[in-house]
Structure 1
């Protein structure tokens, strides 16, 4: 996995940036935040996999503090953003939401708070059940440590599950409204960026993302609670302590959990970009990107030809255009 993790993580990080301009123009802060969080965590996974290949020393405490907190925050960031998407779509499909500049600004502000503020608060609350500063694993990098107690259930693992289940619930209501008012919705939204196809893709994306979140949370709970819940009375905290594990010293269950979490993050990234590319806007963007790549390759080829022709010419000849 030493090659697959950085390569696939870098590819995923680049791809999830692709739909962001369209979501920005549409004012879809929640969908934008999913792309931003996926980009950040994929970049962290790629850099950590390269930085800690065959090593488990700690070159930078600050880097590990930031990245371990962001990896923790993404556990609620994605389901929170998906919940915002489904609530917004439900209100639009039921025609309960009036489209004014004031309501749009309020929605954008609320989605910013939920999609970015709530995950950071969640990462801060993780300190309650964090016995040490962080753990470092060879080939994987830094991760937050969690003391497996009843408190950890409510602080760490239940919030992502609750947000994911709420998202699925609202997706069901959203789909029901769409089936009841689909024709009217298509007519009223014909000139809008949110067409029926885009509506269905957003609902599908939200469901796909939260299913992945549920899977990741269940896997983390299963591996962390293998030996059962520890008594809270035995909990001690030393935020100056850091544990480093070589690949040989890392338990197989922890290695399996880290690989599973990475694979789920890559899957979420491909769901995010894949459902966008299925739409007309995504296909047009793909065509534009291919055109840009073709022009870039053509320019590089012409430049190489010009350089080859310039070799051996005199200074006065450089003023004569050799390539047209």
Structure 2
């Protein structure tokens, strides 16, 4: 059966894989854990879907079972990984919005990164492990789509696997609302606050708010819709035992396109789950790939290549590029916080000097905020992956 998305999907998914990784180097330099996790998970998801769409573009033959074992685990992890990365971003955004004084502590910055890694890596890994409990069989193969996990549609599958993208999205939405509320309360102080912090501008802050609002508007509705598809459009079977669920576990269901495309709900679930991954990549690049810092990096990379070809930038442009990256700094020989386009570490007004190197999530502790110059703590549309099973369970919408 003709695939209306071919070759558009493999082309755009690979392009999304490349584009979403472009801002990664300077975000790694700035210790932006939440945004780095978002970029890495989205890139892995796009690459995984790209490979699947190429290998199984014309059939559903089980020609690479080991790859499908890996691919389905990636899909299960990304179902919660992108919402978790968005939660890290919104959580840090809230901390910035509710503090006022400035302090620098490398220990606090490391502690903040560790907390973000525990959320952005720990939750997806736990999801991959728990998914095995409710897997009806090894995996499913869908022609024109590729490998997808096979979740047995039983009541136990919902607390262990299906509802977590929505739960994480709700927590992220709470942080988003609290951030907006904190901003509304301190509008009168905001101009003065911005004037004292050269790395933050009003425009950048409002773009930040727009990203957080986008997360609030899209994450929870899409996750709730995927739950609706599983509950209303597929039979729910009683949980009997682990052995019953994993009976004939090595079986692989194979679905030709002419079969699954005849079901509107299945088409919506599968296509939504994979296309939203590509949309996430392009949306992220839209917000970060055209920022001032990104344009400076593009310019520097262009002239680095041009110099090898015998070209040299105009003197004024060369001076501007050198100044942007603190090349030939007259006083300091090492890059400072400003030279890598990061915000300082913020702490409540009542605390002026950090007294310990530990980090607490309470509002009376210091917080690390090391985000890029133009978009600190973005919130992008979250996603969840799809899953299905041989008992009529539809794949989860992304």
TM-score (norm 2): 0.68
Distance 1:16 1:249 in 2: 34
Of the two structures, which has the highest relative contact order with CA contacts closer than 8 Å and spacing of 6 or more? 2
> Per the alignment, in what secondary structure is the counterpart of residue 232 of structure 1?
coil
| 3-state SS of 2:240 partner | helix
Q: Answer yes or no: is 1:229 the counterpart of 2:233.
A: no
1:119 to 1:207, Cα distance in 2 relative to 1, 3 A:
farther
Q: Give the match's secondary structure for 1:109.
A: helix
Partner of 1:110: 115
For the residues of structure 2 that align with 1:148 and 1:104, how far apart are their CA atoms?
42
Deviations 1:79-120 (A, max 9, x none): 111111122122122117854111111111111121112111
Could you tell which deviates more after superposition, 14-23 or 242-251?
A: 242-251
Q: State the partner residue of 1:36.
A: 40
In the TM superposition, what is the alpha-carbon distance from 1:206 to its structure 2 partner?
Answer: 4.5
Report how far residue 176 of structure 1 moved: 2.6
Once the two structures are TM-superposed, the CA of residue 210 in structure 1 deviates from its matched residue by: 6.0
**Counterpart in the other structure of 1:182:** 190
Q: Deviations over 1:266-310 (max 9, x none)?
A: 2111211111135322333454566678x49x79xxxxxxxxxxx
Q: Deviation of residue 159 (structure 1)?
A: 1.4
- Stretches of structure 1 that go unaligned for 5 or more consecutive residues are 300-324
Alignment check: 8 A CA contact 2:152 2:245 kept: no
**Which residues in structure 2 correspond to 1:126-205 (within 5 Å)?**
126-179=131-184, 180=186, 181-190=189-198, 192=199, 195-205=201-211
| Match status 1:59 vs 2:69 | no
2:284 corresponds to: 272
Deviation of residue 216 (structure 1)? 4.1
Q: Is the counterpart of residue 262 in structure 1 residue 271 in structure 2? A: no
* Structure 1 match to 2:128: 123
Alignment correspondent of 1:214: 220
TM-score between the two structures when normalised by the length of structure 1: 0.82
Partner in structure 1 of residue 28 of structure 2: 24
Q: Hey, what does 2:14 align to over in structure 1?
A: 10
Deviation at 1:149, TM superposition (A): 2.4
Q: Decide which structure has greater helix share.
A: 1
CA RMSD of aligned residues (A): 2.7
Shift of 1:177: 2.4
* Local SS of the residue matching 1:135: strand
**In the superposition, relative to structure 1, how do residues 257 and 79 fare at CA in structure 2: closer, same or farther (>3 Å)?**
same
SS in 2 for 1:27: coil
Q: Residues 139 and 130 from structure 1, CA distance in 2 versus in 1: closer, same or farther, beyond 3 angstroms? A: same
Q: Is the 8 A contact 1:216 1:260 kept in 2?
A: no
The equivalent residue for 1:69 is 73
State the alpha-carbon separation in 1 of the partners of residues 45 and 218 from structure 2: 15
Matched, 1:79 2:83: yes
Local SS of the residue matching 1:150: coil
What are the ranges of 5 or more consecutive residues in structure 2 without an aligned counterpart?
311-398
Partner Cα distance (2:190, 2:290) in 1: 20
Q: Spell out, residue by residue over 1:245-264, the C-alpha distance to the aligned partner (whole angstroms, 9 max, x if none).
A: 11123252323211111221
Counterpart CA distance in 2 for 1:166 and 1:130 is 27
